Structures are given as C-alpha cells and as structure tokens.
C-alpha cells in the first residue's frame, strides 16, 4: 500500500460542488448540531452531451447529479428548487430517514410543484454508498439521479483513491420528453425477445457509465501498486448489469453500502437499485483497461477506462471489447457474510408476509389497489418472495435495512435484493424500528409504474 487515501478533503469537496452547481444556502433557523451546510439541487431541463450528440433531458444540472458526500452523524440538508414543468420529489435511496423526508409523492409528502422549494433535512446516521433520485414517474430514467456517500467517522478500509460509478440505461427515444408534460411515462420501446433472461423487457440503445456513452468513457486513474475503491451503483430503470475490470480481480467489501467479509471475485452482478463497493489492486505495470458494465441477458456494453498514470488512453481497448472476467467467479447472496448482522431478536419473526411476484403484480395485486403490509413497531418482520415470472425483480424496501436470510445465518444486510426469475426465492427479515408508511417495490421503474408496489404500514 502506498500513499494517502482519497486526497479530497471535505472543504475541497464543498468548494468543488459549489462550482458544479450545488450552491450553499444561507443558514436558516437554529443551527442543528453537526449540520452540514444546506446544498441546493435544482431539477431542470438540460442537454446531455452523448459523445457529441446532444440529448434534451431532465437532470440536476449534470447527469449524474452532483455528488453529495457527508460524514456519518452529520445532518443532510438539501433544498430542492423545482425548475421542472411538473411535480417532483427526491428520495434518498438506501438511507433510513424519518418518514416525512423519504420523498415519496402522495405517501410521505405533497409533491414539490413547479417553481416550489422543499427542504430535506435529517441526520445521516449510517455510513455507506447510496443514491438519490426523483420518485415521480419515470423522472429517474431521464437523468434525475445522483450519488450520495456517507463516510464513516473512522474509515476502516485502506485505499488510495476512490471513484463512484453509476451504471445507467439510456433510451434516446426519450430525448423529446421535455415537451411531454404530465405523463412522465415514455412510450414502451419494442420488446426484446431475449428478455426471458433479462431483468426487464426493453431495448436501450445506450448504456451510460457516469452519464457517458461507450465512445466517450469516463477515465479512472491510478499508479501501479495503488488500491482503488469503486462504489458501483446501478441506477438503470430496466437493466441489470454485470461489472468487471479487465485484467484485475475485485474484492467485494460492501453490498448496498453495508460491510461484508471481503471476498475476491472476477465480476459482480447488480440489479437496479443495488450498489456494491469493491477494491481493485492495481497489480499491473501499466496500460489502459476496460471497465465493463454488461447488461444481463442483452447485447451491448457500458464502459469506463482504467488508465495507469502515464499510459496513453489511446491504448484502451475498443468500446465493445468484452473482458473475460465477466464470465468468471461471481458470488451470490448465499456466499456473502454480513460484518454487522442486524440485531434480530431470537425466536423467529413476529410477522410473516408470503409474497408471489408474477408479471408486475405482487400476490395478484397492483398498486394502488393493493393491500398494505401492516407491521407494529418493534416487530421482527419477514418477507418471503417467490418469483414465478420470467423476469428478475430487484425489490427495494424504503426506510429500513434488511437481512437476506441465507444458510449461514449471516446473509448480507441490504436494502435492495434481486429475486431471480423462474421460481427464484428470497427471504428477508427486518426490524420495524422506523414508524411510517414505507414503499416496498420493484426497482425496475417500469414495473414500479405498472403497480409492482406495496406499502409497509405501521399500525
């Protein structure tokens, strides 16, 4: 190990983010203890440059939006100024805020109308790799998303540099949806017959990594001997990804921001809404290497490039070069061990919900015409999910972390879990410690819009 870890200081970050469009908002009211200065997010129409092709879309100034980074225990204060022609909200994916700050329109708050402002404010207690995104219709699919990193007070991992990589699918047919008011739902692209093994059923012409198409990749840098930390986040609406770095192994350290016993793999798989932190030891002498995000069950490749300092980017592999690591060792949830399992009371669950996932229905019901899942504060709650359909469903629970039940008894602690197609089963347990009405839904945004949602309701 050489050198320092991430050279970015907090002060440098704040200065940088102001330049990137996150402005400081003058303080209001009594100062909260350890409050981070309020940041401003301004969802608005914008043009995204896709390797020279301008795409009109919506975003928070850039796609992805500006990185929000704070330390565990600090107060997240973000003011949203809605410059869109329709309602919006911001959801803090993976965090467990008080219910009123969760950003679900019509459930936890009145949506933020065009021209209105809304202040989100709550303590970010748990460190990890999270995301923020709009929770209105398909706004996330247009680019209204960004990374949110909560650093621990004392970082237990040693690494030299870190990068956030947000994997996205991009439909250029959506380019004119700024003129499409109110609907929020793009016309469905043609169904790909290969979708029986995919997460979704659509074809996306472009796969973006940090908002960049394969022809114009983001470049990660490091020196021989460095250790990189990559926070990989799948923010796609409809695409599960396999992720790998050509010529390098990955050490998985966190899933959905929560630590697991480190495990060496060649590739990781991420359903929509899932995140994974990996360490990459730069044990080559140089060169430029493909960083690949391959859609599950579909053609195409999203990419970035890992460049050893001093090696020309021009030596990078062609955009469609597919690293062999994508076919290498992959671990399932069964093989992951939580470092900090949830303190689930012994003696089994107090409440069990057996759910069937079929098509885009949950046990034959489609939200909003769907029964809430009632829980009581303090209960240990179990959700079993059986997927009888032909598509994967990454199921996401708001406001809580859950434990995936595996044979080890120490399955990973997560907030999003992919339930495999054709009879796949997953069971999760969580502690009902955060009163309110919380969404539990498929993070395929098309499925969510089709009603693949239930409310977990404290009674």
Give the C-alpha separation, 383 to 67, whole Å. 33
Which residue from 275, 393, 398, 410 is in contact with Cu ion, where contact means CB under 5 A? 393
Please report how close the Cβ of residue 8 comes to ligand C2O at its closest, in angstroms.
Answer: 26
Please report how close the Cβ of residue 248 comes to ligand C2O at its closest, in angstroms.
Answer: 29
Owner of token pair 């089963």:
425
Partner whose footprint covers residue 248, from ligand C2O, Cu ion, none (CB < 5 to 8 Å by kind) = none
Instruction: Please identify, using beta-carbon distances, which residue of 42 and 396 lies nearer to ligand C2O.
Output: 396
Partner whose footprint covers residue 99, from Cu ion, ligand C2O, none (CB < 5 to 8 Å by kind) = none
Query: Which residue, 240, 238, 269, 236, is CA-closest to 252?
Result: 269
Question: With binding defined as CB under 5 A, does residue 442 bind Cu ion?
Answer: yes
Give the C-alpha separation, 394 to 417, whole Å. 5
Instruction: Please identify, using beta-carbon distances, which residue of 250 and 272 lies nearer to ligand C2O.
Output: 272
Using CB under 5 A as the binding criterion, the count of chain residues that bind Cu ion stands at 4
Instruction: Please identify, using beta-carbon distances, which residue of 77 and 391 lies nearer to Cu ion.
Output: 391
Question: With binding defined as CB under 5 A, does residue 272 bind Cu ion?
Answer: no
Span from 67-75, 336-344, 382-390, 439-447 in contact with Cu ion (CB under 5 A): 439-447
Partner whose footprint covers residue 439, from Cu ion, ligand C2O, none (CB < 5 to 8 Å by kind) = ligand C2O
Instruction: Please identify, using beta-carbon distances, which residue of 252 and 439 lies nearer to ligand C2O.
Output: 439
Instruction: Please identify, using beta-carbon distances, which residue of 134 and 290 lies nearer to ligand C2O.
Output: 134
Strands, E, within 200-312: which ranges? Answer: 206-209, 219-222, 227-234, 241-245, 250-255, 258-265, 268-270, 275-281, 288-295, 302-308
The residues binding ligand C2O (CB under 6 A) are: 91, 93, 133, 135, 273, 396, 398, 439, 441, 443
Query: Which residue, 433, 390, 439, 437, is CA-closest to 416?
Result: 439
Give the C-alpha separation, 201 to 321, whole Å. 24
Both tokens assigned to 263: 């495990």
Helix or strand holding residue 142 (H, E):
helix 139-142
Under 8 Å between Cβ of 144 and 88: yes
Strand 351-358 and strand 380-387: pairing? parallel
Which residue from 434, 447, 453, 455 is in contact with Cu ion, where contact means CB under 5 A? 447
Instruction: Please identify, using beta-carbon distances, which residue of 66 and 399 lies nearer to ligand C2O.
Output: 399
Residues at the interface with Cu ion (CB under 5 A):
393, 442, 444, 447
């Amino acid at each position: 190990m050489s050198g320092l870890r991430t050279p970015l200081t907090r002060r440098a970050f704040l200065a940088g983010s102001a330049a990137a469009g996150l402005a400081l908002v003058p303080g209001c009211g009594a100062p909260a203890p350890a409050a981070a200065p309020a940041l401003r997010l301004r969802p608005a129409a914008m043009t995204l440059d896709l390797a020279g092709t301008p795409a009109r879309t919506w975003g928070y100034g850039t796609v992805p939006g500006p990185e929000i980074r704070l330390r565990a225990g600090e107060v997240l204060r973000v003011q949203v100024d809605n410059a869109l022609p329709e309602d919006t909200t911001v959801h803090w994916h993976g965090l467990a805020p008080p219910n009123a700050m969760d950003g679900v329109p019509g459930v936890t708050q009145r949506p933020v109308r065009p021209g209105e402002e809304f202040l989100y404010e709550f303590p970010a207690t748990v460190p990890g790799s999270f995301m923020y995104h709009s929770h209105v219709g398909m706004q996330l699919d247009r680019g209204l998303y960004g990374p949110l990193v909560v650093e621990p007070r004392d970082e237990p991992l040693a690494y030299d540099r870190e990068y956030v990589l947000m994997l996205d699918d991009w439909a250029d047919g959506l380019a004119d949806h700024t003129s499409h008011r109110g609907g929020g739902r793009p016309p469905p692209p043609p169904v790909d017959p290969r979708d029986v093994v995919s997460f979704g059923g659509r074809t996306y012409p472009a796969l973006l990594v940090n908002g960049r198409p394969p022809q114009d990749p983001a470049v990660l840098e490091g020196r021989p001997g460095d250790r990189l930390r990559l926070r990989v986040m799948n923010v796609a609406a409809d695409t599960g990804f396999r992720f790998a770095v050509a010529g390098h192994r990955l050490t998985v350290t966190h899933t959905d921001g929560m630590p697991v016993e480190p495990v060496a793999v060649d590739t990781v798989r991420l359903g929509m809404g899932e995140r994974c932190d990996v360490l990459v030891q730069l044990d080559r002498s140089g060169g430029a290497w493909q960083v690949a995000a391959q859609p599950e069950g579909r053609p195409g490749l999203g990419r970035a490039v890992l460049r050893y300092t001093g090696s020309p980017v021009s030596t990078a592999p062609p955009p469609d070069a597919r690293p062999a690591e994508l076919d290498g060792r992959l671990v399932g949830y069964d093989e992951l061990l939580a470092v900090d399992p949830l303190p689930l009371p012994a003696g089994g669950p107090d409440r069990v919900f057996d759910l069937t996932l079929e098509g885009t229905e949950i046990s034959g019901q489609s939200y909003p015409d769907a029964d809430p899942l009632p829980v009581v504060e303090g209960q240990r709650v179990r959700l079993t999910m059986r997927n009888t359909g032909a598509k994967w469903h990454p199921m996401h629970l708001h406001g809580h972390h859950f434990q995936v039940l595996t044979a080890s008894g120490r399955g990973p602690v997560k907030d999003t879990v992919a339930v495999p197609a054709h009879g796949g089963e997953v069971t999760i347990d969580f502690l009902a410690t955060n009163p309110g009405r919380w969404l539990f839904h498929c993070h395929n945004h098309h499925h969510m819009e089709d009603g693949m949602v239930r409310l977990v309701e404290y009674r």
